[in-house]
Amino acid sequence: MDSVKHNAQFVDAHRADFIQRVTVPMPLADRLLCEGMLHKEDYAYISAGQTRQEKMRRLIDALDPKGDRVKCFFYTLVQENEPELLKDLVYSSSTKRKRPLSPSTSERQAKRRHKYEEDDEEEKEEEEEEEEEEEDDYDDDGDDYQDNAEEESDEYGEEDEEDEEEEEDDYDEDGDDYQDNAEEENDEYGEEDEEDEEEDEEEDDYSE
């Protein structure tokens, strides 16, 4: 990567640091204006800032549309005007990239990762328990439904048996009544026959 692009990316990465820590923003704006890298309108807008941070924020905002070359020149100006600040930013960037994790930091991260894993396991166990409870409830409902169906079937069966018994009793009673009536009719017919025979005998006697 060439130095222009690298320095431009450095300015973008440390935007907040420049806004807060650059002590004299207007000399930087003066040089940019003289080099034709800053418009007069932008310069006037920057100088109208009420605080140092506000001036620096407006200056950084004016650099965004200018491209990498202007940002690289701004990097050089900071290096010339506030070298200690730039050294500190460069050092902090290099240590962030290269500094190994301390044992305590590694241990904290391991504990945090272990905690997350435990939380995930607990959530999975809770989900499995909920699924088992739902399955048990479903099975219980199915058993209750089957029991109710069997009870209803037994009730209907008992009712059918009772109806059949009642029908049989009624049929037997009707049969007995029919038999009694037949016997009574036979008795009546028998008596009538005897009477007819007696009358015939009387007529025969009279004829003689």
Q: Which of 42-46, 101-105, 125-129 comes out lowest in average pLDDT?
A: 101-105
pLDDT confidence tier of residue 155, bands split at 50, 70 and 90 = low
Average pLDDT, the chain: 76
Q: Where are the domains of the chain?
A: 3-99
Average pLDDT over residues 78-89: 93
Among 84, 93, 75, 91, which residue's Cα sits nearest to residue 4?
75
Tokens of 153: 């079937």
62 or 103: which leads in pLDDT:
62
Give the pLDDT score at 94: 79
- Provide the pLDDT for residue 187: 62
Note the pLDDT of residue 100: 45
Q: What is the mean pLDDT of residues 143-157?
A: 65
Given this model, what pLDDT does residue 148 score? Answer: 67
* pLDDT tens by residue, 38-70: 999 999 999 999 999 999 999 999 999 999 999
Topology classification of domain 3-99: Death Domain, Fas (1.10.533)
Specify the pLDDT at position 145.
Answer: 61
In this predicted structure, what is the pLDDT of residue 129?
Answer: 82
Cβ neighbour number for residue 70 with a 10 Å cutoff: 19
Mean pLDDT value of segment 168-183: 60
Q: Is the pLDDT of residue 1 over 80?
A: no
Residue 87, pLDDT > 60, answer yes
- Tens of pLDDT, residue by residue over 3-51, are 899 999 999 999 999 999 999 999 999 999 999 999 999 999 999 999 9
Percent of the chain with pLDDT over 70: 52
pLDDT, residue 49, reads 94
